[in-house]
Each structure stands twice: as C-alpha cells, then as structure tokens.
Amino acid sequence: MVIDDVGNSQKREPTQNHSNKSDSSEHSSAFIASPVDRLAAFMADLVVFLPILTLCLAPIKKQVLLAQIAGDNEKLLILGFVGAGVVSLLLVVYQTLFIGLMGATPGKKFLGLKVVNIWNKTKPDFFSAFVRSSFWVLSLCTFGIPWLAIFSNSHRRPLHDRAADTLVLVPDRKRASSSPGMVETSMINGLNAAIITFTILVFSVIFQSYIHDNKHLADTIVNSSEASTQRCESVTSAIGGWLGTEKQAPGRTEIALALHAGERIDDECLESEVTMNFLEEKDLELSYLAKALIKQDDEEQFADYIEKVCEKDEKTSGCSLLEYLQAQKSDAIHITDDAPTYLRIWAVRLNLERGHPQEAIAQLKNPAPHMDLAYYYSMKRLQAQLELKRETDINQDFLASLDGLNREERISLSRETCLAETQMGCSGAKLSCQKLLEFSTSFKTEKELSFENPQSVLAIARAVRCENKPELYEKFQSAVEIPAGRALLQALELKSKGKIKDAMTMLKSLSRQKELSEFRVESLALLSELSQKPAELESLSSEWGEEEPSSISWRYFGWALAEAYFNLGDYSRAFEVGQKLKDSGFNSVEFQKKLVVAAYRADQVEAAKELLVDLDALESETKVVERLPASSEKEANDLEEQLQKISEVLRASASSSAPDDKEEEKDL
Amino acid sequence: MIFPFLRGLASPRKAPVVYILILLNVAIFGISAAMSEKTQTSIDAILDNVEFVKTQGVLFSQEIKAHPHNFSSVLRKLSSDALTGNEDSLEAMGNLALRNNKFMIQANSIEPKGDLVAFKFWKQKFNRLLELQAAHPSYFMGITANHNSFESLLLYQFAHSDSGHLFWNMLFLLIFGVFVEAVIGSARMLISYLCAGIVGALTFALVSGYSFSPLIGASGAITGLIGIVVTLSWGYRLPFFYWLLPIRNYFGFVALPAWILIVVYVLPDMSGYLASVKDFHSVAYSAHLGGALAGALIGLSLRLKFQSRLERTLGEVYSRLPREVLRNSEDNQGHPSYFQRPTY
C-alpha cells in the first residue's frame, strides 16, 4: 500500500477536471468529503444494515438464549465469538460488495459520497474495497479509535483509507471539506488523547455492566451449571460437633429446628431446609412442624400445618408444642429428659417468656448440645436467674457457662452477668466483673477494644470500680466512643484519686443528660454514694421518685440511695427506701440483713421482727452463705454482730412480748 | 431513522376509518385500564407472592418430571434444576408455568408431592387468579387457549396492555392507514385491516399454538397495512422522512422504493421470530408476520385495479413536499441507484 500525499493534487483537482472534459462525468467535480457527511452516511447505512444484521444474528441469538437457560457458559462463550465473527463478516461483505460494485455503500450513495482510488480517481477494485472494509472492521475492533484520524489527516483519510489507497469524495463544492488547518490538527491531536481515554473508560464501563447484566440474566433465568445444594449453611456447619445427647444422633432437620428454636438461624434458613425435605420427601413430619413454626403469624396456615403435624398422633411432642403455641397458653411447660433438643429449647424459651423462670432453669441443667447454642443457653440461664431475682446463683452458672464460648460470646456473657451482679452495688460482684476485665484487656489494640454501645461502657465502668483497678480507667477511656461514657470513666477516675468534688461536678452534669438513661442512673447512684449531706440525698431521693418503679434502673438507684442513707445514719429514710425495694421483690440475704438493722435503728421494732422472720425463711431456702462487702471486712463483721444481737433481743422480746430492752439496745 | 411521510392524506376527512379506529383503540384502552385497575392489583398481588410462585414452580417441575415427553428440553433442564431446591429456578418455573398450556389445563388435577398444606393454599390462590383473569379485559378481549371464538379474533385487535404499546401501534396505524385508505377506499381498508388481524391471530395459533397469556394488540393488523402498502406501490417510490443527524440538511424528505419498508419494518419481526424460544418470549412475531403476509396478498390482488388511484395519491403527496423531492422521484424513475441523495 502506498500512503501518498495526494492532498495537493486533490486541491487542484477541480481545475484539472474542468480542463479535462473528456474525463467521464463520474467524477467531474470532486472534493474531499467532510467528517459530518461521512458520519451521516454511516447512520444512513445503519438503517439498512441493522435489520439485515439482526436477521443474520437471529439464530445465534436463539442459541444464546437456550445456552443461558441451560446455564452452559462454555457454549455462551463460543456463541459470543461466533456472533462477533458473523458481525465482522457481514460488515466486510456489505462494504466490499457495495464499494466494489458501485463505489459507495448505500449510505454514502444517499449522501452523494463516493470512494475512489487515489491514483486514477476511479472506483476502487474489489481487492482494495476488501482491504478497506477489513481495516474498517479492525478499527471498529479497537473501539473506532483509528477513525479519529479523519480529524487530523490532511486528506481526511483514516487508517482504512490509507491502507486501501482510497479517498472519499463529495461532488458538491459547498459541502467540501478543506484539509484540517494547523489549529484544527493540533486541537484535534490534543483532544485525541482525551477522547481515547474517555472512550476506553466508557467502553470498559459498558463492557463491565454488560458482563454483569449477562451474568445476572443467566443467574436469574437459571442457576449456573455448578448448582450447589440449597441447604442452609449454618445447619451444615453445626452438624459436626453436635453432642449426641439423645439415644441416636439427631437428624439434620432436628438440628435445624434446634438452631431455629435457639434463634441461631432465621425462618428463611429453616424454610430452605424444609423446602429441600419436601422435594426429597423425607423427614416430612418434622418439616411440617418447621413450617408450622415459620407460619405462626398466619393463623389460617398455622392451623392447617398443626393439623398436618397432629394428623397421625396427637401425643407427639411437636404436636403438643404447636397446640400450646396456638392456644397461647401461659402455664409452665414440663418436658421429659429424652425430649428432642429443639423441644427443650422451645420449652426454655416459652417458660421464660410466660413467667416460669424456675422451669426454664430446670430445663437448662444439661449442657448445650452444640457450641453454637452454648451462648444462647448461658444468656437464657442468666435471664432466668434475673427473673428469679436470685442474683447470687448467677455466679455459679456463669463459671459453668464460660467453657465452650468464643471470645466475643465470653465478653458478652461476662458483661451481662457483671451488670446483673452489680445491681446491688459492688458487694454482689463475683467473678464475672473480674473475668470481663480479663477478657477485655486481652485485646491488643485499642481499635479492637472499642466500646460502641452504652451497656458495654457501663459494664466496664462497674467492673473497674468494683474490682478496684483504677489504673485501668485511662486505658478504657481512650477506647470508649461515647462522650458520656468517657465522662463517666473520667469521673470514676477522679473519685478514685480522691478528687471527690470534681468527680461530683462531672457526675452532676452527666445526670442531667436525659437521653442516655443508662449513664444518668449510674451517675445518680454514684452521686448518692458520694453525698455527704442529707440535703443532697433528699434531692436525689426526689429524682428516684421520678424513675419508673421496679425497673432495673429504679432498683439500682434505690439500692445506692438506701446504702447512702444507712451510711449517713438516717436509718428511717434508709428503711423507707429499703421497704419499697423489698416490696418490689428485692430479696437478697445481705439486703435483708441490712434492712433489719435499719428498721431496728429506726425504732420500727415490729417491722424488724417481721423482716427477721422473712430473713430466716430466705436463708433456709437459698442455703447460700452470703458474703458481705469484702471492701469493709470490719464493717461487715460489725453488721453481722449487730444483727446477731438484734435478733436475740427481738426473739426474746417476742417470747416475753415486752419490748423493754429496746432502750439498752439502742446504744448499738 | 426513517419512516414514510404522507402529508396531505392525514386529515380525518380524508381518512375517517383510520381515525375511528384510533379513537376506538384509545377509548377501549382507557375503559379497560379503568376497569382492570382493581383486578390488575389483585392479580399482581398474587403474582408477586414469592411463596405462591415457588410452590407453583415445585408443582410444575414435578409435573415435568412425571411426564417429561410432554415438555420441551429447555423446560426439562430448568425443572431438574428447580428440583434441586434452587430458589431462582423454582421462581422461574413458577412464572413459566402460567404460560404453559399443558400445566394450566391440568394444574387443578395434578397430585402434588411434598408440602400438602402449601399446595392447598397455592390452589386457593391459583383459582382466585383464574377468576381474576377471566374478569380482566386483556383476557376476555385477548385470545387465549380457552377463549378463541370468532368474536375474540376481532376483539383482540383493539386491546392494549400498556400505553407505550398503544402509542407505537397508533402511530403506525396513522402513517400507513391513511395511505391505504386514500388508495383503496375506506370500506376496503377497514375490511383489509380486520382481515390482516384475523389472519395474524390464526397464524399465531397455527405456528405457536394458543397460549394462556392472552394475544392482544393491533400489531398484526398494522403489519398487514404495511404489507398492503408494499405490494400496492411496488415499483413506485414513496416519500420518506429521514433523520440522520440533528444538523440541518441531515434530515428531510426523500423518495425511496417501497421495499425499504420490508427491510425496516418486516425484517425485525422475522428476526424476532427466528430468535424466539417457545415459552420465553412475549411478542407474537408470528402474528405480525401472518398479518404482513395477508396484507401483501390483499395488496397484490388490488394492485391493478387501483394503480391509477395510487399514482394520483402519490402525486398529491409529492406535490405537497419540497419541489426537489418531487423532481427527484420523477427524474430518477428507472435509475439504477438505490437511494436518492437529498438536496442541499
């Protein structure tokens, strides 16, 4: 091929043509065609070419659809290549044929353009038409970038024109295009880079979205050929390591039901399990049971599924569970030891929900059948103990539960337990707070240690305070993300350093923040502890009155208040608050001991007597030797001693029904 | 972009039947849209219920598994995927079931296996769906497997399901209808139009078989009009409006041979028909092609009788176009080139 500079001669051509009249009228007048004309010609070609192309591609398109349905990716790839081949071939044939025959494609003809050989200005032969078309298609394959040369080439000849030694002419002088000037050329050259980059970007985006769409289409019409099983993964992973507590190992559906009961998998997961069961027609009874549990909210369907479950035998455990649920009964559920795991968990759940924590604890006596359920068991046990207001039992369960939990679950369990145990001040704190600190400080980085929710900040604050490790305040402060939580830790740090006044100022401002109730109550309780004047306590007491009675925060705050009154020597107020707490169900041994002393010192002898009777009953019932505040061993011993005396005196007075010894005892 | 431009013919006075047809279509669309609003919402509610669709998918797949020879290989492949529990396949099967005649006929009598309670609720919904569909204009106007009397062959041509469908059909009815009406007269035009629609529906029934999703729309009849125009004016040049670029002189009028209409309007239907897989497409290409064929035959039979009227009509149209277009169309009779270049 010759890339010849014919531009100069071309410019002179009109005069040449005029001088040479013998030349046929075929190119009597010829000027270089403008890029706009050529673009328009391309558009005109599309009008005819596209319908022909789609017709030729139709059988391939059908095969593509079939391959997509069949999920045959290999065939799709081959068809993609075949399709591209057909498009290229058609483009080459279309252009070669029309240029070779008529010297212009229909679109060019429509706009009066013609393709000529640069040497003799005649119609190109079939070979150069073929070369031109082939290079045109090659340019298309490179996103049409070579076409941009039409803006910079002096004769408007992009790659395909130069390769085939051709030139595109227009007969009309008005539409003639001059060679690009210096300005246009340099501007276009500058623009070219930008256009190329942009084009590549656009095409890559289009390409990617096309690939994505196609993938999505193939995915939605049908899955890919490597269809995995549609079982629920959480169940699959739980099957290994399942304790064979029952006589024979539980089936997959049973495990799924247990995990569902323990809120480890959701309805959707359980549903996909039973869908498979129904398709494979196995475990049908359990599957109906599962469906019933999923459809609990839809009365009609629920009833139908229950009917299906109870169809054969109304005495099956699943049937009775469903009937219990349907009737919305609230009596306690008792189950036998050989009942399946899922049923036991449902029993725990329902007993707890419907106010039978004692039964729930009884059903929790066996260890969890799987690691995944251990945490659920521990939390439910804790919840039950809290319901029973047996703060003292929590600790034993806590230690027993720690094994088999992962780190997050351990932290979570110790946090909840620590919060529960410190409901009556630090004296109740057993191992859980210590463990919480242990687990929390085992984190290496501060990022890992971040505390995002108020509960976790509160638990840490209590743990550090009750375990008496003030050096940790600073460490945790930097990890806490809630400003109020940081302020609380800061106040506690100040308190530990003896700066009581500063600490109180901080706590006061914290207690005014209504929206963070956890921190507000905590700071109010701490304020009562720090208060030295009865007037301060009075104002706090009125704050306590505004709390919702019997709520956890009310009890916590109340306990702190009672303690503060007691320590300040205002026994009648201490007794008053304590009585309210007791009425709300506060029944720890230590609390009652203090209450007896307070009552006695507040001259409420009759009340003290009654309390003493309750205390005896409570002690014999729980059989737990109460540990009194370790921080003040002496005070504890004193209290114990006093109580001993009081009880002796009261019992004596009860037998002689003469409370004359009162005077003597008051010196205590 | 290119379409015939028939200025001077498009007045309601000259083509009353076309305008009556358009008004009729629009009115029926409006009435049926108002009527079907409630029904449509109820139908959509059922069809959007994933549980319903999946249960239907299970049933359909089980039916295919039980009688594989009754169904296409594509459906067999899909159903075996669905029976492995693949949720997407189950949904796809559930949707395809509504288009499958064999399933729709037997659905109520198939013995389901598996979750019998789910099937019970499916059956309730399914029969409710059938009831709703029977009351839906698209279904009682359209042609379905159990609704294909002679009246419905006429009626289906006036039903449209969405406004886009209606707009394009009416646009092409206007473009081609006014020309046909001007040449062969109102009564013949109306009869030809309806005949083309009927033949289109019959072709669809013959080639693809009636389906449970209704065949609706004026497309078949309108493709028939295109067929009439092509055969009537074969050998003549028709005035077209073309639009290549949004620049002056790159859009305008041109006289082109009538067969361009086949390339631009009928070939795509052919491609669509060749590319369609049974049960998976929603355009009745075979009805279009049947309509076009009917129109072509009608045009051929009327060709000699109306030659002078055709020439007169074309002359009238050209007289209203820029002088150059008219001159080109006269000058270039018998010219070897395929396209006329526009004037500048």
Instruction: Please write the tens of the pLDDT for every residue from A569-615.
Output: 888 888 888 888 877 766 667 777 778 888 888 887 777 777 777 77
Residue B22: pLDDT band (50, 70, 90) is: very high
Tell me the shortest Cα–Cα distance from B93 to chain A, in angstroms: 9
Write out the H or E segment, with its range, that includes residue B251. Answer: strand B251-257
**List of chain B residues whose C-beta atoms are within 8 Å of the C-beta of residue A220:** 88, 92
Adjacent-strand bridge partners of B4: B240
For residue B295, the model assigns a pLDDT of 92
> Which amino acid is it at A393?
D
- Whether A196 contacts A149, CB under 8 Å: no
Adjacent-strand bridge partners of B2: B242
Cα(A365)–Cα(A345) distance, integer angstroms: 12
Residue from the list A69, A107, A278 with its beta carbon closest to the beta carbon of B74: A69
- The whole-number average pLDDT for the span A227-248 is 65
Indicate yes or no: CB of A51 within 8 angstroms of CB of B114. Answer: no
**List of chain A residues whose C-beta atoms are within 8 Å of the C-beta of residue B96:** none
Residue A92: pLDDT band (50, 70, 90) is: very high
- On the question of pLDDT at A190 being above 50, the answer is yes
Give the residue carrying structure tokens 């003639």: A176
Cα(A441)–Cα(A455) distance, integer angstroms: 17
The two structure tokens encoding residue B286: 């075979």
Indicate yes or no: CB of B274 within 8 angstroms of CB of A175. Answer: no
Indicate yes or no: CB of A227 within 8 angstroms of CB of B81. Answer: yes
**List of chain B residues whose C-beta atoms are within 8 Å of the C-beta of residue A218:** none
Give me the count of residues in chain A: 668
Average pLDDT, chain B: 82
For residue A136, the model assigns a pLDDT of 92
Distances (CA, A) of A148 to A43, A45, A160, A602, A637: 17, 19, 11, 102, 98
- Write the pLDDT tens digit of every residue in B92-111: 888 888 877 778 878 888 88
Q: What is the value of ipTM here, to two decimals?
A: 0.81
Residue A631: pLDDT band (50, 70, 90) is: very low
**List of chain A residues whose C-beta atoms are within 8 Å of the C-beta of residue B78:** 69, 222
Residue A510: pLDDT band (50, 70, 90) is: confident
Closest residue of A to B263, CA-based? A51
For residue A87, the model assigns a pLDDT of 93
**List of chain B residues whose C-beta atoms are within 8 Å of the C-beta of residue A39:** 245
For residue A208, the model assigns a pLDDT of 82
Distances (CA, A) of A454 to A166, A518, A547: 79, 7, 19
H helices, E strands: number in chain A: 31, 3
Residue A13: pLDDT band (50, 70, 90) is: very low
pTM equals 0.64
- On the question of pLDDT at A245 being above 60, the answer is no
- Whether B313 contacts B183, CB under 8 Å: yes
Cα(A639)–Cα(A121) distance, integer angstroms: 122
Residue B329: pLDDT band (50, 70, 90) is: very low
Distances (CA, A) of A27 to A14, B60, B343: 10, 69, 18
**List of chain A residues whose C-beta atoms are within 8 Å of the C-beta of residue B276:** 62
CB pairs under 8 A between A and B: 139
For residue A82, the model assigns a pLDDT of 93
Phi, psi (5° rounding) for residue A632? -130, 75
- Write the pLDDT tens digit of every residue in B201-258: 898 888 877 777 788 888 889 999 999 999 988 888 888 888 888 877 788 788 888 8
Indicate yes or no: CB of A57 within 8 angstroms of CB of B86. Answer: no
- Whether A53 contacts A95, CB under 8 Å: no
Q: What is the DSSP string of A271-306?
A: HHHHHHHHHHT-SHHHHHHHHHHHTTT-HHHHHHHH
- Best probe of the B interface among A38, A53, A66, A275, by most B CBs < 10 A, is A275
- On the question of pLDDT at A637 being above 80, the answer is no
Indicate yes or no: CB of A40 within 8 angstroms of CB of B245. Answer: yes
The two structure tokens encoding residue A378: 């521990």
E strand residue ranges, B1-138: 2-4
For residue B84, the model assigns a pLDDT of 81
Whether the CA torsion B174, B179, B184, B186 is positive or negative: it is: positive
The two structure tokens encoding residue A257: 């039901």
For residue A486, the model assigns a pLDDT of 82
Q: In what order do the strands lie in the sheet with A31-32?
A: A31-32, A166-170, A114-117
**List of chain A residues whose C-beta atoms are within 8 Å of the C-beta of residue B268:** 51, 54
- On the question of pLDDT at A321 being above 50, the answer is yes
- Whether A488 contacts A461, CB under 8 Å: yes
DSSP state of B266: I
Q: In what order do the strands lie in the sheet with B251-257?
A: B2-4, B237-243, B251-257
**List of chain A residues whose C-beta atoms are within 8 Å of the C-beta of residue B115:** 274-275, 278, 287-288, 291
Residue from the list B81, B113, B340 with its beta carbon closest to the beta carbon of A281: B113
H helices, E strands: number in chain B: 16, 3
Buried b (16+ CB within 10 A) or exposed e, A247-259: eeebebbbbbbbb
- The whole-number average pLDDT for the span B64-76 is 82
For residue A509, the model assigns a pLDDT of 82
- Write the pLDDT tens digit of every residue in A199-210: 788 888 888 887
**List of chain A residues whose C-beta atoms are within 8 Å of the C-beta of residue B120:** 304
> What share of chain A in percent tops pLDDT 90?
5
Indicate yes or no: CB of A305 within 8 angstroms of CB of B117. Answer: yes
Indicate yes or no: CB of B275 within 8 angstroms of CB of A231. Answer: no
Indicate yes or no: CB of B337 within 8 angstroms of CB of A111. Answer: no
Residue from the list A111, A174, A223 with its beta carbon closest to the beta carbon of B341: A111
Tell me the shortest Cα–Cα distance from A168 to chain B, in angstroms: 16
Cα(A359)–Cα(A305) distance, integer angstroms: 28
> Which amino acid is it at B233?
S
For residue A28, the model assigns a pLDDT of 53
Tell me the shortest Cα–Cα distance from B5 to chain A, in angstroms: 16
Q: Report the relative pairing of strands A31-32 and B251-257 from DSSP bridges.
A: unpaired
Which has more confidence, A139 or A311?
A139
Average pLDDT, chain A: 76
For residue A177, the model assigns a pLDDT of 74
For residue A216, the model assigns a pLDDT of 57
Adjacent-strand bridge partners of A167: A116
For residue A664, the model assigns a pLDDT of 39
Residue A255: pLDDT band (50, 70, 90) is: confident
Residue in B277, B298, B232 with CA at minimum distance from that of residue B99: B277
- Whether A535 contacts A509, CB under 8 Å: no
For the ranges A318-322, A476-480, A631-635, B172-176, the lowest mean pLDDT is seen at A631-635
The two structure tokens encoding residue A219: 């995915």
Tell me the shortest Cα–Cα distance from A55 to chain B, in angstroms: 4
Cα of first residue to Cα of last residue in chain A, in angstroms, is 122
- On the question of pLDDT at A642 being above 60, the answer is yes
Cα angle A627-A630-A633, degrees, rounded to a multiple of 5: 100
Cα(B169)–Cα(A641) distance, integer angstroms: 102
- Write the pLDDT tens digit of every residue in A515-526: 777 788 888 888
Indicate yes or no: CB of A278 within 8 angstroms of CB of B271. Answer: no
**List of chain B residues whose C-beta atoms are within 8 Å of the C-beta of residue A66:** 74, 277
Instruction: Report, in angstroms and rounded to the nearest whole number, the Rg of chain A calculated over CA atoms.
Output: 44
- On the question of pLDDT at A555 being above 50, the answer is yes
Indicate yes or no: CB of A308 within 8 angstroms of CB of B117. Answer: yes
Closest residue of B to A220, CA-based? B88
- The whole-number average pLDDT for the span A551-575 is 81
Cα(B5)–Cα(B238) distance, integer angstroms: 8
Cα(B10)–Cα(B182) distance, integer angstroms: 9
- On the question of pLDDT at A6 being above 70, the answer is no
Residue A84: pLDDT band (50, 70, 90) is: very high
